[in-house]
Amino acid sequence: MKEDVSRSLRSRNRGGGVDGAAEPFVPAAVHADGLTTALDGVGLAPGGRRFDPAEAPVRISGAQIVGIGVVLLVPPIWLLSLRHVDLTRMTDIGLVSVIPRTTFVLAAVTTVSFLVLLFTRPASTRLLFLHVLVLMLVLFATPSVVEAVPRLGATWRHVGIADYITRTGRVDATIDAYFDWPAFFIGLSFVTKMAGLSNAVALARWAPIFLNLLYLPPLFVLLRQATDDRRIVWLAVWIFYSANWVGQDYLSPQGFSYFLYLTVLALLLRFFVDFERRRSAADLVRALETWTAASHAAARRLRPLASAFVASFRRLPLHRRVPWSLGRPARAAAAPSSSGPLGVPLQRAQLMAVAIVVSAVTVPMHQLTPFALLIAVTALAVLGFSSARRLPVILAVLILAWLVFMASAYLAGHFGGVVKEVGDVQGSLNSNLGARIAGSPGHLTVVIVRLGMTAVLWLLAAAGLLAAPQRGTRVLAVLAFAPFLLLALQSYGGEVLLRIYLFALPAISFLAAAMLVRMQDAAGWRSSPVLAAMVVALVGGCLVTRYGNEKMDAFTKTEVGAVDAIYARAAPRSLIIAGSSNMPWDFEDYEKHDLLKIVDISAWRKLDGTEATNRRLLVEIEDLMRDRQKSPSAFLVLTRSQVAETDLFATAPRGSLTRLWRAVAASADFRAVYSQPDAAVYVIVPKRERR
């Protein structure tokens, strides 16, 4: 008897989703002998009374004990294992060539522990959450630990733009396109100043882990709406982070605007999307007609919008209707939550106001994200999933207004190019795929792994779409495919496919997770090794794909020292010649100097590995530096990361920049004002001094 009751309690804990304590219990089946059966989801305690989880003895399974051990032990071991990483030995495949095997083992152990917890009920939500944090640490904080200064040249440039705003208190759109979408830099300038920092370099180092932490709440909200199976939600979160190799999560406008993108989609899916409604072709036509009519009406209603926004924040009695409609209440909105009276128009108006304001801030923050958001919210509205039918219209008006009135300087200079790219899908594909599958053998290996991982994830997502339907499968399928419309807008400097992947990643992670869970449910324990191998490979692959360019992306203190040496000597409007723009450049005096890249000089493109072509390049650089009519002073800066970039992308025979560096160091025409193994700065020796 005692054993039966104990068995019954254990069984009860297996039911009701991942976190047994948090899930409702379904009605119980009671045996003829009066004992509660050992079925999943049994909700009655012996004797027929409602089971109270608080009364259950606290039981910790073996998997949970192991999980606690993993969460406690992996971070310190990971940290210790990174003590002796020698970045100078890095090869063309990036960070994986120097980080110890321990890191991979720890990532694999964490992943297996996470999967065991996920598929062993009752799984603790807290433990799963802590596993995700450990994964983030290993995947996103490893460079922050092993590298002395923030990575990526763009990071330093962004620090410099914020520094410019701090110094001058204004934005100058004539400097470059960053100032046409300056919201992020204005915010960064404000935060840096108030935090008492001299610049944002200190913030940049830990930005990747910070941003990925930031993504977790909206990602979780978004995924949770699409299914009741929390195994799919957590596995999708795991896949999202493991497959996020695009690396836009640094101190950047796109990193922060991506968070806002996730937030708006999460709000829509949580409060304004009807997941339950079945649709036929006729429904879609009707939805399209409705949306078109609503769009026309919205244009007339923009004025009441402002007053309604103000009105929504007045504490009116909750039952009072606001004077205009923001769309019909989504039936699913109130269903899966306990968050309150969502059917009340006032609260929906408030939440829609929040969605509008958050969307609005993405518009001056980044060029591409508002368009991705616009496409996503429009697709949901046009296909009849979202009741927020006026949001796309408002967002479109905001984007257009910003382009016309605030980014006019950019449009004036680039209008022809922008218009030319619209509809040129073939050109976008060429610049995004063809041009990128090139470089040194090591770099090509990384590119192939990236393509392979992406293809496998898309295949899994497609399989999930067809074979593992969930409540939100159709909605997330829309979010997965809608970003592809960006391909028809522009190539985005050869990066639009990467960005499309990033914008679609939450949805494809969900669909892939649904497929994997379906596979596990169908095949049982036999498929567990396959599932574990796939997810472990994804996590391990992330270290390869995400940090495959680390040889050029990582900087050293001496490289920063070289740039400091220039800033200390260069008068405004000096000419700075560099191997490439890949260096910690522009973090000060953003507007004051001109940078000329050696890879853009005609003699660079004629290099064939011979001494003669190298000599011609050297002479051309010397001539440029002696031309004092253009610049008050001239500096040549050569760094290890520039050499790494030119070798990785193979824009000239391997070792070209190194040969040039040797020739400069040996030349009597150049004098080093800063010289370290990783970086050197040269000035030209006047001809009279040479004599």
Q: How far is CA 443 from the centre of its chain?
A: 22
C-beta closer to other proteins: residue 364 or 541:
364
C-beta closer to other proteins: residue 232 or 489:
232
Give min distance, CB of 361 to other proteins, in A. 5
Instruction: Supply 51's token pair.
Output: 């089971």
Residues facing residue 638 across a β-bridge: 680
Give min distance, CB of 216 to other proteins, in A. 8
CA distance linking residue 621 with residue 684, whole number of Å: 10
C-beta closer to other proteins: residue 29 or 213:
213
SS3 content of the chain, % helix, strand, coil (to 5): 65, 5, 30
Tokens 């004797």 -> residue: 47
Q: Which of 587, 609, 598, 608 is nearest to 636 (CA)?
A: 598
Give min distance, CB of 23 to other proteins, in A. 14
- Phi and psi at 186, nearest 5°, equal -65, -45
Burial 9-25 (b: 16+ CB within 10 A, else e): bebbbebbbbbbeebeb
What totals of helices (H) and strands (E) does the chain contain, helices first?
A: 30, 5
C-beta closer to other proteins: residue 131 or 450:
131
CA distance linking residue 65 with residue 71, whole number of Å: 10
Tokens 């976008």 -> residue: 428
Give min distance, CB of 677 to other proteins, in A. 32
C-beta closer to other proteins: residue 194 or 412:
194
Give min distance, CB of 522 to other proteins, in A. 30
Give min distance, CB of 197 to other proteins, in A. 6
Give min distance, CB of 13 to other proteins, in A. 22
Name the residues that contact other proteins, by CB under 8 A: 165, 169-171, 182-184, 186-187, 189-191, 193-197, 202-203, 214, 217-218, 220-221, 224, 256, 259-260, 263, 266-267, 270, 313, 315, 318-321, 337-341, 343-345, 347, 350-351, 354, 357-358, 360-361, 364-365
Give min distance, CB of 357 to other proteins, in A. 6
Give min distance, CB of 678 to other proteins, in A. 29
Give min distance, CB of 365 to other proteins, in A. 7
C-beta closer to other proteins: residue 225 or 470:
225
Q: Which of 647, 668, 507, 660 is nearest to 582 (CA)?
A: 647
Give min distance, CB of 206 to other proteins, in A. 11
C-beta closer to other proteins: residue 90 or 171:
171
C-beta closer to other proteins: residue 175 or 429:
175
C-beta closer to other proteins: residue 187 or 655:
187
Residues 6+ apart with CB under 8 A from 304: 323, 324
C-beta closer to other proteins: residue 170 or 662:
170
Give min distance, CB of 63 to other proteins, in A. 24
C-beta closer to other proteins: residue 134 or 260:
260
Give min distance, CB of 20 to other proteins, in A. 18
Burial 493-515 (b: 16+ CB within 10 A, else e): eebbbbbbbbbbbbbbbbbbbbb
Residues 6+ apart with CB under 8 A from 206: 141, 144
- The upper half-sphere exposure of residue 453, i.e. CA atoms within 13 Å in the direction of its Cβ, equals 29
Instruction: Supply 197's token pair.
Output: 């920092």
Give min distance, CB of 515 to other proteins, in A. 24
Is the link from the previous residue into 441 a cis peptide, with omega within 30 of 0?
no
Instruction: Supply 548's token pair.
Output: 């495959």
C-beta closer to other proteins: residue 319 or 688:
319
Distances (CA, A) of 341 to 6, 265, 346, 385: 39, 20, 10, 21
C-beta closer to other proteins: residue 242 or 359:
359
**14 SS3 class:** helix
Instruction: Supply 622's token pair.
Output: 């010397």
Give DSSP secondary structure letters for 140-184: HSHHHHH-SS---HHHHHHHHHHHHHHHHSS--TTT-GGGGS-HH
C-beta closer to other proteins: residue 94 or 345:
345
SS (H, E, C) 273-290: ECCCCCCCHHHHHHHHHH
Provide the H-helix boundaries in 15-100. 62-81
Give min distance, CB of 12 to other proteins, in A. 25
Distances (CA, A) of 208 to 4, 143, 158, 622: 51, 10, 14, 40
C-beta closer to other proteins: residue 223 or 477:
223
Burial 230-248 (b: 16+ CB within 10 A, else e): bbbbbbbbbbbbbbbbbbb
Tokens 């984007």 -> residue: 399
C-beta closer to other proteins: residue 77 or 133:
133
Distances (CA, A) of 577 to 561, 564, 602, 621: 16, 15, 14, 8
Eight-state DSSP code of residue 463 = H
Give min distance, CB of 155 to other proteins, in A. 17
